[in-house]
Structure 1
Amino acid sequence: MQPGFFITEYALENYPLAAGQQYQWFGTRIYCKDDALLYLMGVSPGTGTYFAKRVLQDELESPMVPGGSEEGILIVWDPVKKVGKAVMISFKWPEFDLSDCTTRNAMFEKWAAGFIMLCSGKTPSYMTSPMVLTKEVEKWITEDELRVIQSGANGNPLAYLRSIPARNPEDLIPVNNGGSQNGNQGGVPGGVHGGSNGGSTGGSSVTGHGGHSPGFEAAASPADVSAASSVSEEPASTPARAYEVKNATSGASGGDSSWYVYGIVGVLVAAGLVAFGFLRGGAGK
């Protein structure tokens, strides 16, 4: 797992998140270090910020670091501007002199102690070859290119990243009709795609660097909030529902229509009295 600690530290120091940004990781050499990345960097499959595809070993060999391998692609993504920086990370394991160890457990303990010293910034005296952790490729990418990487790029995302031309972020941010480079149309805030491994998104209790969750979604601007608050809960002319009963006597005429009610009641009472007298007269005969 140790390379996961080093890679996370490298990301935090060299590629800190700005407000609204998120980390994504595409793993190409998958082993225990990815567990550390999920825990420390705050990425996860559930939030759509961790992706992985095993790449053939000969395609993982680093051309810059002899004996090193290309571990994966770190992506610093801006979901509002819809641009990001993709960085290919290579790693070479340090080598230690373990010739004085007579058992496997002794070798492991000395090897682990060496990594603990490296984590604390110290150099083990028995380290014969240093650890190497560096970037090999760094490209600005668009949302479409991000999706290609997330999908595996037909089996070789590393080669695909190398094929992307070098550009400035200003060249990639869409320009709307108003001329502002915010990737929106008509002043409507751009949406957030929480990872595009099939479009899956999700909440997460894991918090990434900078206090934002991996699936961080930019909060609505004050203009958005005021626009939302100006909308009434129901339309002006809401159609009547089956369970709603309207008072038939209510209306513009108001109290002027009450005499209809009294007249009807009077007719019914008179009819009842007549019927009652008829029945009593019939009974007397």
Structure 2
Amino acid sequence: MNDYLTRVLGREAGVRGIACVTTDLVSEAARRHGTSPAATAALGYGLTAAVLLGSLLKVQQRVALKVAGGGPLQKMITESDAYGHVRGYVNVPNVPAASAIRPEIVAETIGRGGKLTVVKDLKLKSLYESTVPLQTGFLDADLTYYLNQSEQTPSVVEIGVKVDANGHVEAAGGLLLQTLPGEETSTLERLSERLDDLPPLGEVLVDGRTPQDILAVLFRDVDFEWLEERPLEFKCGCSRKRSRQALQLLPAEDLHSLIAEGEAVVDCHFCHERYVFEREELQTLLAERE
């Protein structure tokens, strides 16, 4: 199935649910960055977490997750906008794993003892930024902690990413359950208990269950309505034009050095796209500056 997100709203019960499948976008990120199986799984967790937070945004808003743990991955940054466009990268893409890629291996790859920082561009005068300690390295548990502590919103997050020993992404997706503002948590607690009774989310998705299937099981005795579906994709905002504009901002002496070297290469961290500018184009850039 293509990647997408769907949501339900239980107004009277005071709870909402968001579920997504992210298999294709995680696969695309792994292809672009050449990640090892362990790094692919960790990046899958980060990208799916960004999707879930991005689903709460309004038009033109963006959110970024910065994960800096004590594990060999070192650092991971993922971003999402309000339209389902996601991108991200890890500092160490070739993290080895001694065994099958289980959630415990992913948690060890991310590590504890670091920080989870959430930065939101809400189109206000300044960015919203909040940092919490990484409690476990299990990113869904750490995101649950962030939402409950920093945003004061009772929430439950589960993320599942299944990657085989060859790095093939078999399935990836996530689930977010939240109480609505000012509502009691009793329904959320009941849904959370049901979620605990289900197999791990990655296994559920591998078995062919859809986000709608999962939400229908959890909300089976809750009066709810289905809201919109939203397509998801790995999509970066970089471009040759933006890279050219960045080069134009360099000091003239730096441009002279690049001209002497024969070319300039701009490499986007988020999507690994490379933009090469030959000597003639750099000379044109320099002439435009002067």
Q: TM-score, normalised by structure 1?
A: 0.22
Q: Which has the larger radius of gyration?
A: 1
Task: Tell me which protein shows more strand as a share of its residues.
Answer: 2
Q: TM-score, normalised by structure 2?
A: 0.22
Greater relative contact order (CA < 8 Å, ≥ 6 in sequence): 2
